[in-house]
């Protein structure tokens, strides 16, 4: 929710059964959404630039 920063949904794949976690490789038990950080892709750069302009962080 952009108004207050709350996370409304979170999805992760591949899934695993936490009752039998030892049967899955470590990569399957990793929460990729929270554990890894990626730079914004090219499609998101325009949004970042627009927000910076709007907030007065950068000038044209």
Angle at 44 between CA 42 and CA 46, to 5 degrees: 90
pTM of full prediction above 0.85: no
Q: Which residues contact 24 (CB under 8 A, 6 or more apart)?
A: 16, 17
Contact between residue 52 and residue 58 where contact means Cβ atoms under 8 Å apart = yes
Residue range 2-14, pLDDT digits in tens: 788 887 887 777 7
Give the model's confidence band at 60: pLDDT under 50 very low, under 70 low, under 90 confident, else very high.
Answer: low
- How many beta carbons lie within 10 A of that of residue 37, not counting itself? 5
Residue range 4-44, pLDDT digits in tens: 888 788 777 777 777 887 888 877 777 777 777 766 677 78
Task: Count Cβ neighbours within 10 Å for each residue of 15-35 and write b for 16 or more, e otherwise.
Answer: eeeeeeeeeeeeeeeeeeeee
Task: From the candidates 31, 37, 42, 43, give the one annotated as an active-site residue.
Answer: 42
Catalytic residue check, 22:
no
């Amino acid at each position: 929710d952009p108004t207050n920063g709350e996370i409304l949904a979170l999805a992760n794949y591949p899934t695993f059964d936490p009752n039998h976690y030892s049967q899955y490789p470590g990569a399957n038990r990793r929460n990729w959404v929270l554990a890894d950080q990626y730079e914004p892709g090219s499609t998101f750069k325009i949004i970042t630039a627009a927000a910076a302009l709007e907030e007065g962080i950068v000038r044209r």
